[in-house]
Amino acid sequence: MPVEYWLIFILIVMIIASIAALEMDDILSSIVAIGIVGLGVSLSFLFLQAPDLAIVQFLFEIFALIILVKAFLGKDYHKQAPSRINKILAGLTIITLTAIFIFSVSVFELLPPFGEPLMTTAQYYLDNGAKDTGAANLVSSIILDYRAYDTLGEITVLFTAILGAFTILRIKSKSKKENSELSNATK
């Protein structure tokens, strides 16, 4: 069976799972459905001959699951009934997105067929990567040697994001501070 058919099957499962994740009421079911989508992406990476990405995506999925469950489960979560205007807006959005999809079909027809890539610049890396850097894993040789600047920027972004998360969680909200001052005063 060619790779393309497998990918079509996985993608259909992923689309169904993502719609389910967005429409389900229970928050734990949504998080599990998102897990299905992520594992589908990981499996597709394996079919597309990218084992590095498959490993990272799989771990990302586990980690995101832990964060989401840890943060959102157990909060009392009220499901609001959608109002009339929301229903109208959702309908309009679906119509607009369908129109975008229909118009974009002709754009995708311009692309070369699946399996014959557009980009040919990377041929240099394939030919000389092992000789230039001495690494057998060519992806690793690109991220840490040819394009190490990208990784530097990526580390900076990660550092900033994590620092931002720390700072947000450390700030004490105003009302709580007042409350604690009040309670201290009464003591």
SS3 1: coil
- Sole binder of another protein in the list 26, 29, 128, 151 (CB under 8 A): 151
Residue 13 touching another protein (CB under 8 A): no
31 and 68 Cβ atoms separated by less than 8 Å: yes
Q: How far is the CB of 184 from another protein (least distance, A)?
A: 15
Q: How far is the CB of 185 from another protein (least distance, A)?
A: 18
Instruction: Tell which positions 16-75 bind another protein, by CB under 8 A.
Output: 18-19, 21-22, 27, 30-31, 34, 37-38, 41, 44-45, 48-57, 59-60, 62-64, 66-68, 70-72, 75
**Binding string, residues 71-110; x marks residues near another protein by CB under 8 A:** xx--x-xx-x-x---x--xx--xx--x--xx--xx--xx-
Give 37's contacts (C-beta < 8 A, 6+ positions apart): 14, 17, 18, 21
Residue 121 touching another protein (CB under 8 A): yes
Tell which residue, 114, 180, 121, has the closest CA to residue 147: 121
Rg (CA), the chain: 24
Q: In angstroms, rounded to a whole number, what is the distance separating the alpha carbons of residues 70 and 165?
A: 15
